[in-house]
């Protein structure tokens, strides 16, 4: 990573050096788990990703994911709850888990964070662990969304910026109703978006992009055929 990219990292001190923590980020490229993992590792933590189950079925990636204690996510299936409980237990065991708040690469035309999923909020409210919002930018210039051809030269600059923990204390201990989860999720998305606005030096759209309302597939390559790993 030091050879292949330039770094602009800010706010690593917001990530707790010990104890359970939930790092929640935006998702802009298939390569950003690597560049973002570098940031988390640089903060003194080992990142344990929540990752779609299809990656665990890959011949090579599956061995890596299982061997590094990543947590499989069954998106939209009956086993989705098991993923959340596994993540809650991981946090209670003192691990630092990484959650992509949107559960996939953003569909927003300008790569702003879109409407988030409730997984990160549910894990946070069930575990009581701090949620650290982090924005990243630049990895998409190394590998465009859903592209399979990286461009390392000239060296690209990857920006990552962590903010203060999201305030969720007033929601703790309450029944996890759709309204409570929606409120917590919006706070998390707003915090990530605010950090990305600083990086990009521009304002995000007033209304967050919603794939369902836009008639865009929530998962997979929105531009055509995809592989199991893309989905």
What would the pLDDT profile of 123-159 be if each residue is shown by its tens digit?
Answer: 999 999 999 999 999 999 999 998 889 999 999 999 9
Flag whether 132 is in a domain: yes
Percentage above 70 pLDDT, the chain: 94
Cα separation, 13 vs 99, in Å, equals 19
Question: Which residues fall within 8 angstroms of residue 101, CB to CB, at 6 or more apart?
Answer: 24, 25, 26, 27, 113, 116, 117, 120, 185, 188, 189, 192
Cβ pair 20, 171 in contact under 8 A: no
CA nearest to 28, candidates 167, 137, 165, 172 = 137
Flag whether 78 is in a domain: yes
Domain of 117 in residue numbering reads as 5-214
Q: Is residue 228's pLDDT more than 50?
A: no
Flag whether 219 is in a domain: no
Q: Taking the CA of residue 38 as centre, how many other CA atoms within 13 Å lie in the half-sphere pointing to its CB? A: 18
**What number of residues does the chain have?**
231
Flag whether 229 is in a domain: no
Number of domains in the chain: 1
Cβ pair 171, 125 in contact under 8 A: yes
Phi and psi based region of residue 223 (left: phi greater than 0; alpha: psi -120 to 50; beta: remaining): alpha
Lowest mean per-residue pLDDT among 87-96, 179-188, 216-225: 216-225
Average pLDDT over residues 33-62: 88
* Domain at 135, CATH number: 3.40.1130.10
CA-based end-to-end distance of the chain: 26
What are 161's strand-pairing partners? Answer: 10, 135
Phi and psi based region of residue 54 (left: phi greater than 0; alpha: psi -120 to 50; beta: remaining): alpha
Flag whether 145 is in a domain: yes
Flag whether 49 is in a domain: yes
Flag whether 117 is in a domain: yes
Flag whether 137 is in a domain: yes
pLDDT in tens, 49-108: 988 788 888 878 788 878 777 888 776 656 667 888 989 999 999 999 999 999 899 999
Confidence category of residue 222, pLDDT binned at 50, 70, 90? confident
Predicted confidence at residue 52, as pLDDT, reads 79
């Amino acid at each position: 990573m030091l050879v292949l990219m330039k770094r602009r990292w800010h706010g690593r001190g917001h990530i707790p050096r010990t104890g359970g923590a939930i790092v929640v980020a935006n998702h802009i490229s298939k390569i950003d788990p690597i560049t973002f993992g570098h940031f988390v590792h640089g903060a003194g933590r080992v990142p344990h990703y929540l990752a779609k189950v299809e990656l665990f079925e890959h011949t090579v990636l599956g061995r890596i994911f299982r061997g590094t204690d990543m947590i499989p996510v069954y998106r939209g299936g009956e086993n989705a709850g098991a993923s959340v409980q596994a993540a809650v237990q991981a946090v209670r065991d003192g691990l630092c888990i990484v959650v992509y708040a949107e559960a996939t690469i953003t569909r927003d035309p300008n790569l702003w964070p879109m409407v988030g999923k409730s997984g990160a909020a549910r894990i946070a409210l069930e575990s009581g662990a701090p949620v650290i919002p982090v924005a990243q930018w630049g990895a998409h210039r190394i590998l465009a969304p859903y592209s399979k051809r990286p461009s390392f030269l000239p060296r690209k600059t990857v920006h990552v910026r962590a903010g203060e923990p999201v305030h969720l204390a007033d929601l703790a201990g309450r029944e996890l109703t759709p309204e409570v989860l929606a409120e917590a999720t919006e706070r998390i998305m707003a915090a990530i978006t605010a950090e990305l606005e600083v990086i990009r030096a521009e304002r995000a759209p007033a209304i967050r992009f919603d794939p369902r309302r836009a008639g865009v597939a929530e998962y997979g390559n929105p531009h055509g055929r995809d592989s199991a790993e893309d989905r």
